[in-house]
Amino acid sequence: MPGAIAQRKIGAPHSSLYIGPAGWSYEDWEGIVYARPRVRGFRPLAYLAHYFNCVEINSTFYRIPPPSVADKWVAQVEPFDDFLFSVKLWEGFTHVPASGGQVDAQALKQWGAALDPLRRSDRLGAVLVQFPWSFRRTRANASYLDVLTENLTPDPLVIEMRHDSWNSKDYLAWLRERACAFCNIDQPLLSRCLPPTEHVTASLAYVRFHGRNRENWFREDAEVAERYKYLYSKEGLSDWVERFRRLI
């Protein structure tokens, strides 16, 4: 699954570099990441917090949880003062065409309440606003993005675009004006896919690794796990070493 690396340029006393996975509940992690059988009372999130200082929350993409869920996340990482969460925005805001370019007010209210425990505990590192490859740069889409980000601030926002039509100077300028971070990604370089970048448009830089599974990336009947199944080699990541040095 895609990993997330976020680097805070400002914001002491937090660390300057955050590295973590996207989610923690995967069947194929059993016996590899987690011991099998699990010991009684084992909590995957608390376990990962010993090795990473952040994690992306994937479940929020599929359903807006009640605030009590985030309370439990915070409790599990309580011993780790520097741990942060990056929360993926609900798909209803990014993957379902909005009616008339408007944002669902009731859903926004629910979303805001869901993240309150992370805000209160100073555990909210970023909100990841991930759009699909089909979300191309058009006047209507740019207008909707403007409305959406206006409604999501002042939370720290990271905007992920997968179509290369968004890789433009004026879009980067717009992000800087809004203090929204550009999500640099590594993905299969297929038709009009955003190539590797090293853009910094806010007080944090953000990078996600999706793998390079060309065969399954656009396959309509591919399961999510199939699409992201990829093992990076040391050589395959060599170009990113210099990018990270420049980002940091």
Residues 199, 205, 207: CA angle, nearest 5 degrees: 85
Residue-level pLDDT at 115: 98
- How far is the C-alpha of 220 from the C-alpha of 6, rounded, in Å? 30
**Mean of the pLDDT values across residues 191-214?**
96
Q: Is 211 helix (H, G, I), strand (E, B) or coil?
A: coil
pLDDT at 129 over 50: yes
Per CATH, the architecture of 3-247 is what?
Alpha-Beta Barrel (3.20)
- How far is the C-alpha of 215 from the C-alpha of 226, rounded, in Å? 10
Tokens of 205: 């830089």
pLDDT tens per residue across span 41-84: 999 999 999 999 999 999 999 999 999 999 999 999 999 999 99
> Domain locations in the chain?
3-247
Residues 128, 48, 40: CA angle, nearest 5 degrees: 130
Tell me which residue of 153, 171, 167 sits closest to 89, measured CA to CA.
153
DSSP 171-232: HHHHHHHHTPEEEEEE----TTBPPP-----SSEEEEEE----HHHHT-TT--HHHHT----
